[in-house]
Amino acid sequence: MRSMVAGALALMMAAAAPGVAAPAVAPAAATPFRLGALRLVALRDASNPVPNDGSVFGKDQGPAAVAGVLKAAGAATDTIALSVDCLLVTLPGRVVLIDTGLGPKAGGALLASLAVAGVRPGAVTDVLITHSHFDHVGGLLAADGTPAFPNATIRMSAPEWAFMQSQDRGKAIAAAIRDKVQPFAPGAQLMPGIRAVALPGHTPGHSGYEIASGASRLIDIGDSAHSAIVSLAEPDWTITYDTDSAAGKAQRRAILTRLAASHEPVFAPHFPFPGVGTVVAKGDGFAWKPGLP
């Protein structure tokens, strides 16, 4: 299974530490739910078990500390289980996909999950990218290297687009999608019902997306938090995936504090599928309460 994804994972823009397990091919899955008058669908792409060896989570604390957090939550202590998932939003006249997973060359199941949801790639009108790490942009390209969503406009923040083009590992994808990209200012209202939320730190132009229907709200937090257990219980711990560790910690603490106070539903692409729930305060940190709106 690892051999199917090893080549593509070598292109990951995140500085993955040695020994991190390759994402595993996951079965296609689509979980629909309602947000006010809107139909949303959580889409499974892959599973990504990360070993608890101090290379990614709690690098400044050590595996024993991470194991303690996992044990307290009743989870296995040798591995941090992550998902790779995407979100589909149907708006009047638009079919919007947020992030694209690993892509077919890396064994991503997004296209199969879209088929389960009854959506053809050509029907997608807009692709919104939270940030340009490979597990979020790899699926922008089909297996033959052409755009996977031929009729879609691709949108990411202007700082993130600049960052993507500056990275050796991002240039190939950027070149293939250049004519389809429309960058936006951080925090911009992108269309009726979707507003970008500037969440820099994980990457320079990392964005969340707040989806609104009437009084109902849901925010896709991108990679503000990776583990539904460790990232929430200890938001101030270093995670290797953040390009700016200090800014990543500050942003993570700030957005989790806001969400625990507002009780706004959350989509977190690396939390256990379908990645929908709410953040609640717990001690000096937070906890995850899964559940559809």
Does the pLDDT of residue 21 top 60, yes or no?
no
Mean pLDDT for all residues in the chain: 92
Q: Which pLDDT does position 24 carry in this prediction? A: 67
pLDDT digits (tens, 9 = 90+) for 22-47: 566 789 999 999 999 999 999 999 99
Of 282, 232, 240, 248, the residue nearest 54 (C-alpha):
240
Residue 65 — pLDDT band, cuts 50, 70, 90? very high
Q: Give the separation between CA 99 and CA 111, rounded to whole angstroms.
A: 12
Residue 62 — pLDDT band, cuts 50, 70, 90? very high
Residue 102, φ and ψ in degrees, nearest 5: -80, -30
Mean pLDDT of 145-166: 97
pTM score, whole prediction: 0.92
List the chain domain ranges. Answer: 2-290
Query: Based on the number of CB atoms within 10 Å of its own CB, is 213 exposed (0-12), middle (13-18) or buried (19 or more)?
Result: middle
Does the pLDDT of residue 18 top 60, yes or no?
no
pLDDT digits (tens, 9 = 90+) for 80-91: 999 999 999 999
Q: Which pLDDT does position 6 carry in this prediction? A: 33
Contact predicate 228/179, CB 8 Å: no
Residue 269: beta bridge partners? none
Q: For domain 2-290, which architecture applies?
A: 4-Layer Sandwich (3.60)
Q: Which pLDDT does position 22 carry in this prediction? A: 58
Residue 170 — pLDDT band, cuts 50, 70, 90? confident
Query: Based on the number of CB atoms within 10 Å of its own CB, is 179 exposed (0-12), middle (13-18) or buried (19 or more)?
Result: exposed
Q: Which pLDDT does position 48 carry in this prediction? A: 93
Does the pLDDT of residue 284 top 50, yes or no?
yes
